[in-house]
Amino acid sequence: MSVRFFNSLTRSREPFLPLEPGRVRMYACGPTVYNFAHIGNFRTFVFVDALRRHLKWRGYELLHVMNLTDVDDKIIRDARAAGLPLREFTEKYIRHFWEDADALGIERPEVAPRATEHIPEMIALIGRLTRCGCAYHSDGSTYFRIASFPRYGALSGGKLAGNVAGASERVEADEYEKDDARDFALWKRSQPDEPAWDSPLGPGRPGWHIECSAMAMKYLGESLDIHCGGVDLMFPHHENEIAQSEGATGKPFAKYWLHAEHLLVNGRKMSKREGNYYTLRDLLERGYAARAVRYALVAVPYRKPLNFTLEGVEAAERRLKRLNETVRRLREAKSVVAEAADDAATTIAQARKAFGAAMDDDLNTAEALAAVAQLETAVNIALTRGELSEPFKRTALAAFDDVQTVLGILDPPEEALLDAAVEALIAERMAARQARNFARADAIRAQLAAQGVLLEDGKDGTRWRRA
């Protein structure tokens, strides 16, 4: 086993050696919850998910933290426009984010902290930075003093000029209050009608960058193994995270930095600002399957830009249909020969190995899917010729299991489908009860019981289990 990643910090492909053998502490920058995430955002989250799944599949114990940015300028602006308190406004988009993530087969991180629930940790970190001379107060706000951190720019190659000229849409506007135009806000004085937290720094709210440093260090310690996100976050966000964290602790913040390239539309980054985006819902409404969207996003290695087209999703759908059909036929096939022909067994074993090796190689999903195609061809030949043996079937199914564990692109097996059917019947029973159609409700309970599914009605709805 030799997992390798391209580390943005060293600009080279390196063997992955976590700080503690066998254990990975990983932080991924999460969504800003002021609207639906678009599928450009989800390209990055699907990449993080493949990374997460691959590490677990390779046997690492994983602690993965992803923050939810639930306070920032755009959130405040849009919550006000919607006439809602911040919490109520963001709650809705957090819910939608998880719904979309679930539909895309994205596993939940172990911890998903909200910025607004970690203000004391941020204030403490800013206090630490102030005491060591890395931060200063000015006119009610607190800024990070870039001059105090000589290594600033190590990650992005020193694009300092960009911090002044607005490389990010989130560069603070109030630059005249800073000692140096490069400095960035850690704590922002709130305007009278803006949400504010009381603090020794004065009433205000945190800057965006400090959130991630505070929450990453709270859950993962002062030094972590992997920090990841989209490539647009490298500067200034990740650069600032390094400056704040290392400025306060004097220790290296993250050992490996991984950045996903953008999802593009006609060569331009998909973004809310450009208006050239689709949400997952847009695509589902057009009749595309969430799994096809996932496939289209994951099929191109994460360090290559990916041009999004509807034709691309359609091609993914056709590809998945064939693949799922092969797996289904394999599952249902009765083995007809005692032993597989040597060459077929070898092909399967090689393809399985090639799949793992491609993923080890900085998550080369294109190569990994080429190995899946070899697997599929070998299985189809065996099925067509009626040369399927029990060991061949077992190995091939195990190989598809690997593919599913790591990439999550296949249809769930029958049992899981059945789960969805059970849920649907429970929902129908609930509706029948609400309509006082108790006969129908009872019939559904009996039907489920006949299939070995037992219901328990409680305060919070109906739970079920298999008998």
Q: Which residues bind Zn ion (CB under 5 A)?
A: 29, 212
CA distance 148 to 134: 5
CA angle 448, 454, 460 (to 5 degrees): 110
Q: Which of residues 93 and 392 has its CB atom nearest to ligand AMP in the complex?
A: 93
Contact 50, 406 (CB under 8 A): yes
Q: Which of residues 98 and 136 has its CB atom nearest to ligand AMP in the complex?
A: 98
What does the binding site for ligand AMP look like in residue numbers (CB under 6 A)? 29, 31-32, 40-41, 43-44, 229-230, 232-233, 260, 262-263, 269-271
Q: How far is CA 422 from the centre of its chain?
A: 28
Q: Which of residues 82 and 427 has its CB atom nearest to ligand AMP in the complex?
A: 82
| The entry of Zn ion, ligand AMP, none that residue 113 binds, CB within 5 to 8 Å by partner kind | none
Q: In whole angstroms, how close is the CB of 183 to ligand AMP at the nearest point?
A: 22
Q: In whole angstroms, how close is the CB of 381 to ligand AMP at the nearest point?
A: 38
Can you count the helices (H) and strands (E) in the chain? 15, 15
| The entry of Zn ion, ligand AMP, none that residue 230 binds, CB within 5 to 8 Å by partner kind | ligand AMP
Q: In whole angstroms, how close is the CB of 128 to ligand AMP at the nearest point?
A: 25
Q: Which of residues 36 and 144 has its CB atom nearest to ligand AMP in the complex?
A: 36
Order of strands across the sheet with 61-66?
61-66, 23-28, 224-230, 254-260
Q: Which token pair is 328?
A: 């289904």
CA distance 169 to 70: 17
CA distance 464 to 454: 6
| The entry of Zn ion, ligand AMP, none that residue 212 binds, CB within 5 to 8 Å by partner kind | Zn ion
| The entry of ligand AMP, Zn ion, none that residue 43 binds, CB within 5 to 8 Å by partner kind | ligand AMP
Q: In whole angstroms, how close is the CB of 256 to Zn ion at the nearest point?
A: 15
CA distance 318 to 324: 10
CA dihedral (264, 265, 266, 268) positive or negative: negative
CA nearest neighbour of 184 among 233, 141, 140, 150: 141
CA nearest neighbour of 69 among 234, 238, 209, 198: 209
Q: In whole angstroms, how close is the CB of 383 to Zn ion at the nearest point?
A: 48
Q: Which of residues 78 and 419 has its CB atom nearest to ligand AMP in the complex?
A: 78
| The entry of Zn ion, ligand AMP, none that residue 41 binds, CB within 5 to 8 Å by partner kind | ligand AMP
CA distance 255 to 263: 26
Q: Which of residues 31 and 195 has its CB atom nearest to Zn ion in the complex?
A: 31
Q: Which of residues 29 and 448 has its CB atom nearest to ligand AMP in the complex?
A: 29
CA distance 33 to 278: 16
| The entry of ligand AMP, Zn ion, none that residue 44 binds, CB within 5 to 8 Å by partner kind | ligand AMP
CA distance 48 to 56: 12
Q: Which of residues 236 and 356 has its CB atom nearest to Zn ion in the complex?
A: 236
Amino acid found at 183:
D
Q: In whole angstroms, how close is the CB of 237 to Zn ion at the nearest point?
A: 6
Q: In whole angstroms, how close is the CB of 285 to ligand AMP at the nearest point?
A: 20
| The entry of Zn ion, ligand AMP, none that residue 75 binds, CB within 5 to 8 Å by partner kind | none
Residue that is written with structure tokens 């941020």 in the block: 122
Q: In whole angstroms, how close is the CB of 70 to ligand AMP at the nearest point?
A: 11
| The entry of Zn ion, ligand AMP, none that residue 263 binds, CB within 5 to 8 Å by partner kind | ligand AMP
Contact 138, 252 (CB under 8 A): no
